[in-house]
Amino acid sequence: MTTTVQTKKMTDCERVANYCAGVLEGTIPACSYVMLAVERYMRDLETGHERGLYFDTEAAQLTVDLCRLFQHFEGKWAGEAFEPEDWQLFLFWQLFGWMRADGTRRFRVGYIEVPRGNGKTFLASLLGNYLTFGDGEPGAQVYAAATKMDQAKLIHEPAIWMVKASPAFMARAEIRVNNISVPETHSSFRPVGKDAKKLDGFKPHGAILDELHEHPDGSTWDVMRSGMGKRRQPLLLGITTAGFNPHGFCAQTRDRVIKILERVFDDDAWFGIIWTIDDGDDWKEKSSWIKANPNYGVSVDPVDFEAMAHEAIESPHLVNNFLTKKLDIWTTQEVRWANMVK
């Protein structure tokens, strides 16, 4: 006689709690900034009510469940329904679960910094679609904004593919050139390049700025932010890898996020999280690679990653690019021409 032991599947709420515990206990490799983001979440669960904040599990769950209706559009998961990894679930939980006393969403600005290869663009496309279809905002204007139109389309075109692959969403949508339109709510999702003058007059409900490190200044960010003034619960989101200008607008935004995480000052409207390595970590070690890349072993292929690391170790001109794009370490130049130690 064979006995089948069934393992109870964790709920999303339990998964988030498990993720937080793993980060704080060290069983899930994480840098100090991720640990601080988790500590902030846990602390706010205990004391947020003192500032008029509360966590709405149903709102967070609704967001996750709606996003699960979309499918992957490329690679080995193409055609499969999206299922968030624990770190992605933590992001959704934070951004869409926290509420203010008036019942509107807490976070109005978000900054997510994660190395290349961790599904950043897919996440941006997914969030753009959610803000367009699922956020309950009449006449929602949602934008994928970048320094160039082609860059903005890297978010918008996958969003179109996701909608087309879903009969439920296609029944509500009209797909036009550079526009996902939802007639029943008079909402739209469009890509825009950097042209601050033409952006004046926009009233975004949601704006996702891709590769924020490439923006030469804060003009697009500022125009989007100021245009959100009459929206009920807007969201301005910067998603980026590290860059090569430690004094630019993106780095300044990053510094603000770090100060919030380190409790230099508080800002309940801002959410931020950064995946990188810590001072003293050896960038040549696998433990550092895993710490900086939350999707290591999923969308980040370990074999390919190790090969690129060894290439950088042997070829000094590849080091800075590897550090910046694969480990999220800000450097001052893309290429280092000589290994000065050798």
- Do residues 194 and 220 touch, judged by C-beta distance below 8 A? yes
Q: Which residues pair with 334 in a beta bridge?
A: none
Q: Give dist(CA 11, CA 26) in Å, integer.
A: 22
The widest CA-to-CA distance across the chain, in whole angstroms, is 74
CB-count burial class (<10 Å; 0-12, 13-18, 19+) for 304:
exposed
H helix runs in the chain, sequence order: 12-25, 32-47, 57-67, 86-97, 120-133, 149-164, 167-170, 196-199, 219-227, 249-261, 286-292, 302-314, 319-327
Per-residue pLDDT at 339: 44
Angle, helices 57-67 vs 86-97, to 10°: value is 130
Residue 157, amino acid? E
Structural tokens at position 128: 């753009």
Give the chain's domains with CATH numbers: 12-274 (3.40.50.300)
Per-residue pLDDT at 80: 83
Of 202, 37, 217, which Cα lies nearest the Cα of 111? 37
**pLDDT tens across the length of the chain (342 residues):** 334 444 568 999 999 999 999 999 999 999 999 999 999 999 999 999 999 999 999 999 999 999 999 988 777 777 788 999 999 999 999 999 999 999 999 999 999 999 999 999 999 999 999 999 999 899 999 999 999 999 999 999 999 999 999 888 999 999 999 999 999 999 999 999 876 456 667 899 999 998 999 999 999 999 999 999 889 999 999 999 999 999 999 999 999 999 999 999 999 999 999 999 999 999 999 999 999 999 999 999 999 999 999 999 999 999 999 999 999 999 987 555 444 344
Per-residue pLDDT at 198: 66
Number of C-beta neighbours around residue 246 at 10 A: 14
- Do residues 302 and 296 touch, judged by C-beta distance below 8 A? yes
Q: Give dist(CA 99, CA 120) in Å, integer.
A: 25
Q: At residue 142, what are phi and psi to the nearest 5 degrees?
A: -120, 135
Q: Give dist(CA 179, CA 149) in Å, integer.
A: 13
Predicted structure pTM score: 0.93
3-state helix, strand, coil in the chain (%, to 5): 45, 15, 40
Q: Give dist(CA 147, CA 97) in Å, integer.
A: 30
- Do residues 132 and 189 touch, judged by C-beta distance below 8 A? yes
